[in-house]
Amino acid sequence: MRYAETGFNLEIDLTRGNIEKVATDPRETELYLGGLGTNAKLLWDRVSPEADAFSPENLLIFGAGLLCGTPATGCNRTILTTISPQTKLMVFSMMGGFWAPELKYAGYDKVVLRGKSSDLVYIWINNDKVEIRDASHLKGKGAVETAEIIQKELKQPKAQVAAIGMAGENRVYYASIEQGRSSASRGGVGAVMGDKGVKAIVVRGTQDINVAEPAEYLGLCSEVLEYIKYREDHPIPGVMPILAGLGSPQEMKVHDEKWHTENFMWGNSRTRRRDFWTDEIAKDWTETMENSRKRLISCYNCPMKCGATITMPGMPTYMMKCFSKLTYTMAAFSDLNFGLHIAQKATEYGVDAFSTPQVMAFALELLENGILTDADFPGMPEDSEGRFYWLLDKIVRREGIGDILADGTYWAAQRIGQGADVYAHNNIKKTEQLPLKLSMLNPIYFLMYATGEKMNITQIEGQFPQAPFPKLEHREKFVEDWIQVPDDKFKQYFLDWEPRGENSMPFYPTVAMCCDIVDWQEQMHYIDDALGMCAGLSSFPLKPPYHIHNYPKFITSGAGIDMDEEKLTQAAKRYRTLVRAINIRRGMRRSDEKPPEDHWKKRFPELEEQLLDGYYKLKGWNNDGIPTKETLHELGLDYVGDDFVARGILTDNENASAEKS
């Protein structure tokens, strides 16, 4: 008997219209856990490095995390894995919501799409009955609208729908997959879904998910709930409110946006407005939010209310989460009222709320600077808000200039030429980043930005405070109940970290400490992504209820896999290394691992090199960021090592061919 997981994947070949229920190997679960881990294994095994995002050979994998569908609070994430049209690398975008548990109850751990359908279809999974159905009547419909229509026509109000909007259909490189209050937005997973001709995947499941040791497992779940209550009553003092509690930053709840609006950049990640947040604006924005927010809402089996139902006058209702609240507002130099309005359209179109506003602001900057001209924007309104609506429509339809912009700032700049690449200034690995421009290099963040393969800082940071606390007594207080640390040395790193003087950034934490800190933070995200746990209750906030000390127990009693901290650390390292291997095989190297040049004003090239050297070493990668044969062998990934040698990425006698240069 399989516990926590169902032991079956649903394999759908869209070219031939073939559907198969395939039993999976339990040994793979032990090695790669589930979710991201087993997704990565499928991608390595079945998608050659020559295949691009829109090749029929590319897979689009909807993987439910290993513990999704069990009573573990907040464990509801679907991990989307494919080759990204934007980065040409492996992408693993995630969504919370209700879809992954429903898939488990239907009897599957993953849906694996391959091939392409010539007509637009949707997939209807009702327990053991799976159909590919015509979706021609849904062409051009919004993602939220599509979900409603399908639920009605199937008479299945409880079915969960993951759908794309027009952006996905038209293969916009930053198209999202929307699902109720959640979305998988990064890396263009929606474009791949559209390319495969799939408008939606609809799931309804009414079967059991079993756990191996029921009483122990429920005991662990209850402890987590108790700890959540404790943390709600004891916010962390000395950090800004959105970092004090659990969950995603509580953007739907919090009205005070002084910090974001005055510290994040406006426009095309250019302008800092230090005195923006006045009483008048605070009053105006609070009113806007209060009038449009109908309810704070949650994902499956989670008490954190990170999302909200938003109804703007005269517009259909939609569900919003987190920082999309401000990205459009700030890119357009507008106000919250505009932001909430355009986000409704963007949600229906199905686009990423980080990339999209930046692409539009980038286009307007090119116009201002004469690289693009009025002829490129025929009929565009004069006002900033009108321009954003106009651009959004052109992008999702790939009309005129929109066809170029739909590829994101990096590729658009390549196509436009004439020095446009200077304006595509906020990318890492060809992906638009949060609009942050800071002064002093933060060595921890440098490493996270540079080496992250999730393309989003929020999906690698967490656990360790973002900045030192000014007073020693506050630091001492903070470490008192810091049970989450994997090792007590992290407490000392933090105690000794000062805002100024000898023990301050960029040279403290030291290179070795930074490597440890980043490794820990990344490890927790990778574990979450295999288990399906929301980062908001685990790897993202300070002092979360899930950590390296209780996770092994969850896996042992939940999935029936004998686990301890060491074994879990090794498993996480195994599939983290496999993710890197997939990207190395696709050409990613050290030279790609750099934050935007203007991310910090004060840079330290020598230190940055040392940081990368140190981190690669800790990870068991060579100087070019390639996992060494020795590391691969230790992790049981000899098949990767052999492939690297066969391809000349590594040589038999040396660690890397690249090291010679």
Partner 1 sequence: MKAEKKTKIVKTIRIDVDNCNGCRACEVICSAVHATPKYSSNNPSRSRIRILRDPLRDIYVPVLAGEYTVAECAGRDKYIIDGKEYDECSFCRASCPSREEFKEPDSGLPLKCDMCEGEEDGPMCVKWCLVDALIYEEREEEVDEAESQEELEIGLDALANKFGMQMMMDTVARMSNKG
Q: What residues make contact with partner 1 under the rule CB under 8 A?
A: 69-71, 73, 98, 105, 144, 148, 157, 180-181, 205-211, 214-215, 217-218, 225, 228-229, 232, 294-303, 305, 309, 316-319
CB of 366 to partner 1, least distance (A): 38
Contact 256, 282 (CB under 8 A): yes
Q: Which of 402/560 has CB closer to partner 1? A: 560
- Cα separation, 402 vs 286, in Å, equals 34
DSSP state of 356: H
Shortest gap between Cβ of 142 and partner 1 (angstroms)?
12
User: In terms of CB distance, is 215 or 646 closer to partner 1?
Assistant: 215
Shortest separation between residue 208's beta carbon and partner 1, angstroms? 4
Report phi then psi at 52, rounded to 5. Answer: -95, 180
Smallest distance, partner 1 to C-beta of residue 544, A: 15
Task: Report yes or no: 350 and 165 within 8 Å, Cβ to Cβ.
Answer: yes
Give least dist CB 292 to partner 1, A: 12
Residue in this structure with the two tokens 């390296």, named with its chain if needed:
548
**Euclidean distance between CA atoms 238 and 249, whole angstroms:** 16
Distance in angstroms (rounded) separating the CA atoms of residues 345 and 351: 9
Beta carbon of residue 554, minimum distance to partner 1 (angstroms, whole number): 14
The region that residue 269 occupies, defined by phi over 0 for left and psi between -120 and 50 for alpha, beta otherwise, is left
d(CA 27, CA 561): 10
At its nearest, how many Å lie between partner 1 and the CB of residue 349? Answer: 17
Smallest distance from the beta carbon of 106 to partner 1, in angstroms? Answer: 11
What single-letter amino acid sits at 245?
Answer: G
DSSP 453-494: SSS-GGGT--SS-SS--SSHHHHHHHHHT-TT-SSTHHHHHH
Q: Let me know if 597 is exposed, middle or buried by CB neighbors in 10 A (0-12, 13-18, 19+).
A: exposed
CB distance 55 to 82 below 8 Å:
no
Which of 228, 391 has the CB closer to partner 1? 228
Q: Nearest approach, Cβ of 537 to partner 1 (angstroms)? A: 12
CB of 218 to partner 1, least distance (A): 4
> How do 78-83 and 60-64 pair as beta strands?
antiparallel
What is the SS3 assignment for 258-301? HHHHHHCCECCCCECCCCCCCHHHHHHHHHHHHHHEEEEECCCC
Residue 216 tokens, joined: 């122990």
**Least distance (Å) between residue 317 CB and partner 1:** 5
CB proximity list for 264: less than 8 A, separation 6 or greater: 326, 330, 434, 435, 436
What is the nearest approach in angstroms of partner 1 to the Cβ of residue 72? 9
To partner 1, the closest distance from the beta carbon of 216 in angstroms equals 9
Burial 609-633 (b: 16+ CB within 10 A, else e): ebbbebbbeebbbbebbbbbbebbe
Contact 498, 472 (CB under 8 A): no
Nearer to partner 1, 228 or 360 (CB): 228
Nearer to partner 1, 4 or 632 (CB): 4
**Residue number with CB closer to partner 1 (211 or 530):** 211
**Closest distance of CB 191 from partner 1, Å:** 26
Among residues 161 and 485, whose Cβ is nearest to partner 1? 161
Q: Tell me whether residue 96 or residue 190 sits nearer to partner 1 (CB atom).
A: 96
Task: Give the β-pairing of 121-126 and 198-204.
Answer: parallel
Q: Using CA atoms, how far apart are residues 554 and 532, in angstroms rounded to an integer?
A: 13
Looking at the Cβ atoms of 545 and 625, the one nearer to partner 1 is 545
**Helix or strand (DSSP H, E) at 233:** helix 214-233
Distance of alpha carbon 268 from alpha carbon 245, whole angstroms: 30
Q: Which is nearer to partner 1, 212 or 236 (by Cβ)?
A: 212
Tokens representing 629?
């044969």
- Cβ closer to partner 1: 116 or 305? 305
The residue among 297 and 438 lying less far from partner 1, judged by its C-beta, is 297
- DSSP string computed for 35-93: THHHHHHHHHHHS-TT--TTSTT--EEEEE-TTTTSS-TTB--EEEEEE-TTTSSEEEE
Of 221 and 450, which CB lies nearer to partner 1 in the complex structure? 221
Q: How far is the CB of 281 from partner 1 (least distance, A)?
A: 28
| Closer of 177 and 246 to partner 1 (Cβ) | 246
Closest to partner 1 by CB, 141 or 260: 141
